[in-house]
Amino acid sequence: MTTTLTTRTVSYPADGLTMVGHLALPAGTGRRPAILLGPEGPGLNDVQRRRADALAELGYVALAFDINGGRWFTDPQEMLARALPLLADPDRMRDIGHAALDVLRAEPRTDPDRVAGIGYGTGGAILLELGRAGVDLKAIGTINALTTGRPGEAAHIRCPVWAGVGSEDPIMPAVQRDAFAAEMQAAGVDWRLTVYGGAEHAFHHPTVEHAVRPGVAYHPRHAERSWRDILALLAECVPVTD
Amino acid sequence: MTTTLTTRTVSYPADGLTMVGHLALPAGTGRRPAILLGPEGPGLNDVQRRRADALAELGYVALAFDINGGRWFTDPQEMLARALPLLADPDRMRDIGHAALDVLRAEPRTDPDRVAGIGYGTGGAILLELGRAGVDLKAIGTINALTTGRPGEAAHIRCPVWAGVGSEDPIMPAVQRDAFAAEMQAAGVDWRLTVYGGAEHAFHHPTVEHAVRPGVAYHPRHAERSWRDILALLAECVPVTD
């Protein structure tokens, strides 16, 4: 198979920072379904850039967006100092998401009527907030992002939501799974939740080292399964048809 | 596409009854991975027979096995009178499962080293009991079968387990999801649980009528998704390679 993937670094302002995203375009010339891909709290790194590339190889326009102004935090305390206030502020999350969405929609290859979002951790929380803001996404897929929103706003989500989480994730315990499920169900959302048995936080991320802290570990089998589950969501909601 | 599916009705003794299963063979002549397909409490009907046929079209040998001696119970009380004592007796469930497994293994097209099980409700509980008995299955996939076993026996399960359930299933409430997850996790099983938001009991079954009782309803979208999830499990664990 010959792939003629094109990638581009895109800079744009959001949240008082200059965000540095990674845009991946599929072969061909026409409009294609487009995916917003949100990274976890530490920021955008090559793991997520390569996922955007993988989506482009499947025929999607994909933007791996930035949440930290070009930074990848290796120090957990520095990461939390950025992520925790952000996660507590739906309006800031929406601004970051809208800015990325504007970049994606401005790309001529993007079919603006077929945009879906997938995200990990903080990036997933941002996509859920776009949904709660009523943005027309065709699917929202998240991993480790069982964040609940402001009362009543989940009713604005009009697309299927798929969420994945590790059973042993200390940051996303059973009580949070239940709270997220209850919010989605009360809002009448078409939702699903997959619990990956034995998986800890960041289970999907090959560069995470177990030593970072207890409860954080890469789980290769579930990482691969979760990627397949996300691709199945996209195939259902925004199939590549041309 | 030309399919030359072959099907056969197979009768065999188990649990003091004559079981009447439905065996579906794929095109070709060689050995193939083989699937035990267990039906829900009311029994084996055309819905599950057609699922076995669909598996054969994908290249699997598939046996939709019987649990009720050829009967399909339409009366819920009659069904429960059969199913509840059965579900309370792991040894009887294992006998029914072993008898079906013997039929499947006796089929010359079956590759005895590549047998997996999928099951719905009571049929799923039977497959989990085969796993707890230490039977060499390559995958166990269940829907609406979050039955826990005798203490310690889940450690005999040596294959990936995938379980699906509706979030609004009154027979499989959150407390049972948690108990099943805890059993699998404590036993070191490679497990996953997918919760289908808004789905009620028997959500996968097109002939179920809402009127049967509250909490029971067909859910077409989740029915299709759950079938895709099962096929993904089989593709991972017992891929058709020839």
- CA angle in degrees (0–180, nearest 5) for B20-B22-B24: 160
The CA distance from B195 to the nearest CA of chain A, in Å, is 5
Span A129-153, mean pLDDT?
A: 97
Contact B76, B66 (CB under 8 A): no
- Measured between CA atoms, the residue of chain B closest to residue A166 is B192
Residue of B194, B226, B229, B237 best to disrupt the A interface, most CBs of A under 10 A? B194
Residue of A192, A219, A222, A228 best to disrupt the B interface, most CBs of B under 10 A? A192
3-class secondary-structure state, position A153: helix
Q: A157-171, A196-210, B124-138, B206-220: which range is least confident on average?
A: B206-220
Q: Is the dihedral of CA B145, B170, A158, B210 positive or negative?
A: positive
* Inter-chain Cβ pairs, chain A and chain B, closer than 8 A: 65
Span A40-49, mean pLDDT?
A: 95
Angstrom distance (rounded) from CA B239 to CA B32: 9
Listed as ranges, residues in chain B with pLDDT below 50 are: none
Say what the pLDDT of residue A4 is. 81
Say what the pLDDT of residue B111 is. 98
| A78: CB partners within 8 A, 6+ apart | none
**Residue A230, pLDDT above cutoff 90:** yes
Q: What is the DSSP string of B84-116?
A: HHHHT-HHHHHHHHHHHHHHHHHSTTEEEEEEE
- Measured between CA atoms, the residue of chain A closest to residue B174 is A178
Rg (CA), chain A: 16
CA distances from B147 to A134, B183, B197 (A): 39, 10, 20
Angstrom distance (rounded) from CA B149 to CA B130: 11
Say what the pLDDT of residue B152 is. 96
How much is the mean pLDDT over chain A? 95
What single-letter DSSP state applies at residue B201? Answer: B
Angstrom distance (rounded) from CA A233 to CA B188: 28
Contact A63, A100 (CB under 8 A): yes
Say what the pLDDT of residue B3 is. 61
* DSSP percent split of chain B into helix, strand, coil, nearest 5: 35, 25, 40
Mark yes or no for CB contact B185/A174 under 8 Å.
no
Residue A2 confidence class, pLDDT cut points 50, 70, 90 = low
The CA distance from A21 to the nearest CA of chain B, in Å, is 32
3-class secondary-structure state, position A154: helix
Tokens linked to B124: 């799923």
Cβ count within 10 A of residue A69: 15
Span A179-207, mean pLDDT?
A: 95
**Phi, psi angle pair for B2, to nearest 5°:** -100, 125
Element at A230 (helix H, strand E): helix A220-237
* Fold of the domain spanning A6-237: Rossmann fold (3.40.50)
pTM comes to 0.95
Contact A121, A84 (CB under 8 A): no
Span A39-55, mean pLDDT?
A: 96
| B109: CB partners within 8 A, 6+ apart | B25, B26, B29, B30, B31, B32, B34, B61
Residue of B159, B175, B190, B195 best to disrupt the A interface, most CBs of A under 10 A? B195
Tokens linked to A49: 């850039």
Contact A163, A146 (CB under 8 A): yes
Contact B215, B169 (CB under 8 A): yes
Contact B199, A203 (CB under 8 A): no
Q: Which amino acid is at A191?
A: W
Span A25-45, mean pLDDT?
A: 96
Span A144-166, mean pLDDT?
A: 97
Residue A216 confidence class, pLDDT cut points 50, 70, 90 = confident
Give me the torsion for CA of B194, A178, B40, B104, rounded to 10°: 30
Chain B residues within an 8 Å CB radius of A194: 192-195
**Residue A86, pLDDT above cutoff 90:** yes
Contact A22, A7 (CB under 8 A): yes
Mark yes or no for CB contact B225/A192 under 8 Å.
yes
Interface of B with A in 101-160 (CB under 8 A): none
The CA distance from B225 to the nearest CA of chain A, in Å, is 9
The CA distance from B163 to the nearest CA of chain A, in Å, is 10
Residue of B162, B180, B192 best to disrupt the A interface, most CBs of A under 10 A? B192
Nearest CB partner across the interface for B195, out of A181, A197, A225: A181
Interface of A with B in 197-226 (CB under 8 A): 197-198, 221-222, 225
**Residue A217, pLDDT above cutoff 60:** yes
Contact B230, B197 (CB under 8 A): no
Chain A residues within an 8 Å CB radius of B190: 197-198, 221
Say what the pLDDT of residue A190 is. 98
Mark yes or no for CB contact A195/B192 under 8 Å.
yes
Say what the pLDDT of residue B213 is. 73
Chain A residues within an 8 Å CB radius of B228: 232
3-class secondary-structure state, position B241: coil
CA distances from A43 to A67, A86, B36, B142 (A): 6, 13, 45, 37
The CA distance from A197 to the nearest CA of chain B, in Å, is 5
